A and B are shown apart, each in its own frame.
Chain A
Amino acid sequence: MNRTEIMAQIVGILEDVAEISPDEVNEDSVLMDDLDLSSMEILTIVADLEETFGIRIPEKELRSFVTVSDLIDYLSARVG
């Protein structure tokens, strides 16, 4: 799966979990700042990503997810 496809999945999940319009999301969006996500919502998004991509994301990786591109980088390394 390429970056564009991964981004599309993330955008879909953000819309579903937090009602964030796809227009508001880009790779540089900071999850907590720009997208106004709570830590609880980030966990839910991570759970949805795990389900979508069929992977388990280790706890220690969560710290590195600050922006949308952090998520894409991680996911493309795992499933790209």
Chain B
Amino acid sequence: MGFEPHMVDTVYRLITENMEQVYADLPGLRYRGDDGRIVTVTFREFAQDIRRCVGYLNEKLGGAQRRRVCLLGKNSYRYAVAILGLLAADSIQIPLNPYKSWEELHYELSLVDPDVILWDDANDPWRDQLLAEWKDRLLPLQECTRAEPAELQETADPRALAMIMFTSGTTGRSKGVMLNQWSIMITGRDSICSWRVVVERARQMGYTDDRFQLNHFSTLPLFHIAAYANLLHWPLYGTATNMGDARSLYRDLADMPSESMAVVPSIAEMLRRDILRDRRDKLGPLWILMCSSAAFSRETLLDLRDHGILIIQNYGMTETGSGGLVNEAQDEGHIATAGHTIPCMEYKLDQGELCMKGECLMLGYYKDPEAIAQAVDSEGWLHTGDLAKVDEDGYYTITGRKKNLIILDSGENVSPEELEGLLANCDAIRECVVKEKGKKICAVVFCQPEDQEKVRSYITRLNRTLPLYKRIGAVECSNVPLPRTAVGKLQRS
């Protein structure tokens, strides 16, 4: 407990020092159990379950080192245990998004060809398909804490491939970002700049060193880099993670009082409305928002700040192990920027495009040398696809996107081409462009005036087959062909 973090740089040390010694008796994780009650797990108990998971993996795989293990499920305590367990076992883990279409998931599973799939069998939306094709490789997540605890060993090489995380590609197909544990741990170390600001505010609020433990609430999915990295970062600071469900956000927040919360723009927007409507009691002791995944409205951030909320922002990508820019500035001039640089990375603007390289950078895209050649140049610079400018104080502002990718308020990235491909199946649609408009996915369609209703009802039907975040929220019909660029491509903006 206290203001000083215990910095370590490997997962082995995180478990054996932070969880089993320094913060052992503090709450490490809270979640809602199957009976509906909140379960609190100390760091020591969490570490013990991680050891059991390593024991389970070793037993089932006859040695888990370097074996490829897919993780398939929604957020749960067992999922969190499995993430740390797989890292501790030196396996290669692939957290998959279970909400994707079967076609996408099938592509990712086939590409990775895992040794086993740890899955949440009872709740998996693709249960039948998985059983039909991968039955012999499925292992239930709920069993992973039922083995004898294993002895742990320091990883042979913290820079070796430890994880493949799929991210939306700009051409429709997702890409498997290969990361090591080093890149994620080092980002945790470099985020200390924002921790100091948290401590300073805590002192002002009357917290003392011996009585300070932060409780951080998150509903963000662990198969995305932000929440995944946080799971590894918070034990550095002795902070407890309160695992909530987006579907019961307010109930979970009430039952797991939290000073800090991970938010994407759509959640920040709801919280702002609660505060402005004098419903702050719904939010409990919340005073810190950790903002990431997409750009936040300046007005929203200022409103929240003016009501006593400390705003911390992180700009990062899966390709950088979540690292990138950090912003803890509260002044009007900087609060809405993406932030300033962190020590483990180098930065440059190449024709306005933000480029980064350094210790956080991915090892590459799995089995996709063409994609890596496009994203990382011969000098090792990752071209982020974001256009940016930097001010005299070193704060970067994202001014636009070079890559054709929609980043939504939910933090999800959506490839317009993927949706355009689905729209092309409708005979009445002659041409279409999918773009972001007013924070929503908008389809601009060229069709005959008499076909407009047909197009709209096709899109309504299509939406019923898509996850919530991918839904086309606006349709604009045109009676004339859509504008094209000089080289004949459909114009996107």
Contact = CB atoms under 8 A, between A and B. Distances in A.
Contacts of B247: 43, 46-47
Q: Which size bracket describes the interface of A in this complex?
A: 20 to 34
Interface stretch (A5-13, A60-68, A71-79): A60-68
Given A38-B410, A39-B266, A40-B410, A64 B464 contact: yes
A63 B270 contact: no
Contacts of B171: none
B399 interface: no
A60 B473 CA distance: 20
B270 A44 contact: yes
B250 interface: yes
Contacts of A19: 273
B410 A59 contact: no
Contacts, number: 62
A25 interface: no
Nearest to B460: A66
B269 interface: yes
A55 to B, nearest CB: 13
Given A60-B125, A66-B463, A40 B439 contact: no
Given A32-B440, A66-B460, A66-B464, A39 B410 contact: yes
Nearest to A66: B463
B106 interface: no
A42 interface: yes
A62 B469 CA distance: 11
B266 to A, nearest CB: 4
Nearest to B252: A47
Contacts of A44: 249-250, 270
Contacts of B460: 30, 66-67
B223 to A, nearest CB: 15
A24 to B, nearest CB: 16
A18 to B, nearest CB: 8
Interface string A23-47: 0000000101100101111111011
Contacts of A46: 247
A28 to B, nearest CB: 10
Contacts of A66: 460, 463-464, 471
B246 interface: yes
B273 A42 contact: no
B433 to A, nearest CB: 17
Interface string B460-475: 1001111111010111
A64 B249 CA distance: 21
B302 interface: no
B246 A40 contact: yes
Contacts of B270: 40-41, 44
Interface centre among B123, B269, B471 (most CB of A within 10 A): B471
A62 B466 CA distance: 10
B474 A33 contact: yes
B409 interface: yes
A47 B273 contact: no
A45 to B, nearest CB: 10
B249 A39 contact: no
B137 interface: no
B266 A40 contact: yes
B398 interface: no
Contacts of B466: 63
Contacts of B251: 47
B410 A63 contact: no
Nearest to A51: B251
Given A32-B440, A59-B123, A38 B475 contact: no
B269 A38 contact: yes
A57 B404 CA distance: 35
A36 B437 CA distance: 12
B250 A38 contact: no
5 contacts: A33-B473, A46-B247, A47-B247, A59-B74, A64-B464
Given A33-B474, A38-B269, A40-B270, 15 more contacts: A19-B273, A32-B473, A39-B266, A39-B469, A39-B471, A40-B266, A40-B409, A40-B410, A41-B270, A43-B246, A43-B247, A47-B248, A62-B468, A63-B467, A66-B464
